[in-house]
C-alpha cells in the first residue's frame, strides 16, 4: 500500500506513513491512555478523508475536517459508554481502558463532541468557500438532518446501550437510515436546483 501510495502522491504516502506510525503507537501503548485512545481513532478518520481528497483533487473545507474529527470522537465516546453499560462490572476486566471512563465523564465528552460536530457542520454550510463551491446558500437547510442524526445516536446510546458498534447502528436503525437518505436527497436537490 505504501509503495502504491508513493506513485500516486507524496502527500498520500506521508499521510499513510503517519497513519501506520499512529496505529503502531496506538496498538502498543496509546490504546491504554484515556481520551487519547478515542482521539487517535478520530484522527485516523481525518487522515482517510484527507488522503481521499488529495487523491481526487478535492479541496476540503476546514469545517468539514473538524466535523469529521468531532463526529468520530462522538461515535468513539458513545462506543465507550455502551461498552461500559453492556459489560457492567466486567468492563474493567475485559478492557482495562474502560476503568478510566466514568459515566458522568463520558456524558460530558459526548455532549462536547456532539455540540462541536453540529456547530462545525453548521459553519461548513455557511462557509463562503462551500457556498462558492456548490453555488448555493441553501445547504443550511440540511442542518436539521445532522441534528437529528446526532440526537438519535444519543438516544440509542442512552436507551439501548447499542452504540458499541456504530457501523451496525447506522446500517440497521431505520430512523437513522431514513434520515441519511433524506439528508443525501436534500443535499443533492439543493446543489442541483
List per-block mean pLDDT (blocks of 10 residues) for the chain, which spans 193 residues. 81 93 95 95 96 91 97 96 81 74 94 98 97 96 98 94 89 97 98 93
Question: For the chain, what percentages of helix, strand and coil (3-state, to nearest 5) are there?
Answer: 85, 0, 15
User: What gap in Å lies between CA 155 and CA 11, rounded to an integer?
Assistant: 39
pTM, two decimal places: 0.92
The gap from C-alpha 33 to its chain's centroid, in whole angstroms, comes to: 20
CA dihedral in degrees (51, 54, 58, 60; nearest 10)? 60
pLDDT of residue 104: 93
pLDDT of residue 150: 98
The gap from C-alpha 97 to its chain's centroid, in whole angstroms, comes to: 20
pLDDT of residue 89: 64
Helix (H) or strand (E) holding 102: none
Q: 131, exposed or middle or buried, with CB in 10 Å at 0-12, 13-18, 19+? A: middle
Q: Between the CA of residue 135 and those of 55, 64, 119, 155, 185, what are the distances in Å?
A: 23, 17, 21, 35, 17
Q: Are 104 and 77 in contact (CB under 8 A)?
A: no
Amino acid at each position: 500500500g505504501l509503495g502504491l501510495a508513493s506513485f500516486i502522491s507524496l502527500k498520500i504516502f506521508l499521510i499513510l506513513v503517519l497513519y501506520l506510525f499512529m496505529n503502531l503507537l496506538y496498538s502498543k501503548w496509546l490504546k491504554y491512555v484515556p481520551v487519547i485512545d478515542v482521539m487517535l481513532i478520530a484522527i485516523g478518520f481525518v487522515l482517510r478523508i484527507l488522503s481521499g481528497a488529495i487523491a481526487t483533487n478535492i479541496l476540503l473545507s476546514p469545517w468539514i475536517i473538524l466535523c469529521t474529527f468531532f463526529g468520530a470522537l462522538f461515535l468513539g465516546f458513545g462506543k465507550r459508554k455502551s461498552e461500559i453499560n453492556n459489560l457492567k462490572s466486567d468492563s474493567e476486566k475485559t478492557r482495562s481502558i474502560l476503568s478510566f471512563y466514568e459515566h458522568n465523564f463520558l456524558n460530558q465528552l459526548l455532549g462536547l463532541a456532539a455540540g462541536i460536530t453540529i456547530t462545525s457542520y453548521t459553519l461548513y454550510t455557511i462557509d463562503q468557500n462551500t457556498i462558492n463551491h456548490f453555488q448555493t446558500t441553501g445547504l443550511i437547510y440540511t442542518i436539521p438532518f445532522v441534528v437529528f442524526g446526532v440526537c438519535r445516536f444519543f438516544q440509542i446510546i442512552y436507551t439501548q446501550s447499542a452504540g458499541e458498534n456504530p457501523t451496525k447502528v447506522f446500517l440497521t436503525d431505520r430512523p437513522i437510515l431514513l434520515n441519511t437518505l433524506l439528508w443525501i436527497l436534500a443535499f443533492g436537490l439543493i446543489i442541483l436546483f
